[in-house]
Chains A and B, each alone.
Chain A
Amino acid sequence: MGERGYDRSVRLAGGVLAAIVFLFLIAPLVVLVVSSFNPSGSMAFPPSGVSVRWYAEVLGSPDWQVSFRLSGLLVVLVVPTTVVIGTLAAYGLTQGSFPGRRLLTGLALSPLMVPEIIIALGLLYYFHGVGLINSLPGLWLAHSLVALPFVVRAVMVSAAQLDPVLERAATSLGAGRVRVFFTVTLPLLRPGILAGAILAGVTSLGEVAVTALVAGANTTTVPLRIFSAVQYQLDPSMAAVSTLLMAASVVVMVVADRFARISEAL
């Protein structure tokens, strides 16, 4: 047992600690996936066999179908909204030169740091006044507000590395402002835009904190339906929905990680 043996055991101890933390992170998700295949109605773990009856039950239920459609529709609405607003803003905030830029950057990212219950309550009270409670436009705006800072931050990473010389070169070759933005600037911002779009999509897909207060009986998203169901009953159909929701997010992310480094945006 020389110095090298001591080195190795220290490193091993560090590795074991790290493994425990990774296990802690993944355990609840793994348990959920496994129990979704439970043939019986109990949440006993480990399950007594393998069955897809809960998936069939969920996918065949009209209530869940409505929720799946609503959640999908919201993603389709929220992603373009936040990407357009967020990309323009991130570009202006990093490449622009107007007074108050730092203040506006702080404002753009602040919905991330304000406690979620305050945003939820603020929108609830506000939407009551303008009649947007329990409506699709209300959820669209609420989800866009929650997802927007993620897009701004992701695109800002790409925009900060943008070389203005390229834009100037295009301008001097005769391209107009709009054309430069669409043919030079946007392609250069692509990794950030893609990462932002993914983050916006998964944020909308999983949002509950604000949705729980501004949605209603006609606008129950998938995670909100899980939320209200879990409070009263525990059965594997909820695990099946959760697994489907999780699978959608993970597949999108793994595929997209090949094109964009989401890691840089977080």
Chain B
Amino acid sequence: MTPGSRGGTVTARAPRAGERRRGWVHVLPLVVFLAALFLVPLAGLLRLSFSPVGAFNAALPGWTLAQYGRVLTEPYFYGSLLQTAATALLVAVLCVLLAYPAAYALARQRPGTLRTLLFVIVISPLLTSVVVRTYGWVVLLSGNGIVNKALVATGLRDQPAQLLTSYPAVVVAVTHVLLPFAIIPLTTALGGMDRNLHRASQTLGAGPVRTFLRVTVPLSLPGVVTGALIVFALAMGIYITPLLVGGVTQPLTGIRVYEQVSTVFDYPVAAALSFALLALTVVSTTLMAGAFRIWERRLHG
């Protein structure tokens, strides 16, 4: 994102004879750490999702598909999966739309105090706790919060609306939390663009709007795709933000998993539900990435 800040040294990385395993020792601690704390827990969770449950929802030995059966047949579970996918899609679209003007302004800003300030604003949500950001929305949207005051003052509502614990509030707060993940790749894509292309387009008689739509937007598509996919994947699994803003009744999978674990204590069904969520996330991001690739190829001939 800071072009020209480093020399363009081309590293020669041809493996020399006898050094085929160079670097392996360095990676070993990471492999051990991730195996012990990421792969083994995930494998344990996968095994748990095939366990039958006994009295008081205790997991029993043995194998069954009953938990996945429940997830796929009970509307409480599969409805939440559909709702989560729809929400994640909506959030991804909103993030891309909102990220565009911000990334455009950021990419065109010359290095200086204003750029640093704008940059701090963009990544400030990333560097503050998710509870802090979400709590800001709780304050904004509460009964006597600033949004309700504005609604009443402008005569749009006679009395304060119940904004907290509503679905639109969840969408707004999740969009806010994930927006930086869309702005950053888009700024990189827009910043790396050759300004001569704009000049060429304008010299040939295209106005700024046409240049933007026919030159800038197509060239920034890789950044758009990266941002949209990251936001979508993160929105699928987010649960703290919707829980705080929307409450436990929101029909989202993350919240339903949390409910099963924290109040129902049914771990096997929670495990099955979260693996269904993971599968849905992987399948839909792969499909979307593929669709974007085909579309892009057609666009560039």
Interface residues of A (CB under 8 A from B): 3, 6-7, 10-11, 14-15, 17-18, 20-22, 24-29, 31-32, 35, 42-46, 84-86, 88-89, 91-93, 95-99, 101, 104, 107-108, 110-111, 113-119, 121-126, 129, 141-142, 144-145, 148, 152, 160-165, 202, 205-209, 212-213, 223, 226-227, 230-231, 234, 238-239, 242, 245-246, 249-250, 253-254, 257, 261-264, 266
Contact = CB atoms under 8 A, between A and B. Distances in A.
A245 B132 CA distance: 8
A123 to B, nearest CB: 5
Interface string B224-236: 0000001001001
Highest count of chain B CB atoms <10 Å: which of A107, A121, A246: A121
B281 A129 contact: no
A235 B267 CA distance: 34
B1 A264 contact: yes
Contact of B40 (A126, A246, A257): A126
Contact of A115 (B15, B44, B236): B236
Interface string B113-151: 000101111111111111111111111101011100100
DSSP majority for the A interface? helix
B41 interface: yes
B144 A44 contact: yes
Contact of A29 (B30, B133, B142, B257): B133
Nearest to B19: A97
B254 interface: yes
Nearest to A19: B105
Given A22-B118, A144-B37, A145-B37, 17 more contacts: A18-B104, A25-B121, A35-B139, A42-B144, A46-B146, A89-B26, A92-B23, A117-B237, A121-B274, A126-B44, A202-B126, A209-B240, A213-B262, A230-B134, A238-B135, A245-B129, A264-B1
Highest count of chain A CB atoms <10 Å: which of B135, B137, B240, B258: B135
Interface in B62-118: 98-99, 101-102, 104-106, 116, 118
Contact of A91 (B23, B122, B270): B23
Given A89-B27, A97-B13, A28 B133 contact: yes
Interface string B17-36: 00111111111011101100
Contact of B11 (A97, A148, A163): A163
Contacts of B161: none
B287 interface: no
B186 to A, nearest CB: 12
Nearest to B34: A107
Interface size bracket, B side? 35 or more
A95 B275 CA distance: 35
B128 A206 contact: yes
B179 interface: yes
B110 to A, nearest CB: 15
B176 interface: yes
Interface stretch (B2-10, B192-200, B290-298): B2-10
A14 B237 CA distance: 33
Closest 9 CB pairs of A and B: A96-B23, A115-B237, A28-B136, A206-B129, A92-B26, A18-B105, A122-B41, A89-B30, A92-B23
A88 B101 contact: no
B29 to A, nearest CB: 5
B2 A118 contact: no
B264 interface: no
Contact of A263 (B2, B22, B33, B38): B2
B98 A29 contact: no
8 contacts: A6-B208, A21-B179, A29-B133, A96-B26, A98-B21, A118-B45, A226-B132, A266-B126
Contacts of A126: 37, 40-41, 44-45
B30 A86 contact: yes
Highest count of chain B CB atoms <10 Å: which of A93, A96, A123, A239: A96
B301 interface: no
Contacts of B120: 250, 253-254, 257
Given A124-B261, A230-B138, A261 B5 contact: yes
Given A25-B176, A84-B29, A261-B5, A223 B129 contact: yes
B283 interface: no
Highest count of chain B CB atoms <10 Å: which of A20, A208, A213, A231: A208
A257 B124 CA distance: 13
A160 B102 CA distance: 29
Contacts of A202: 126-128
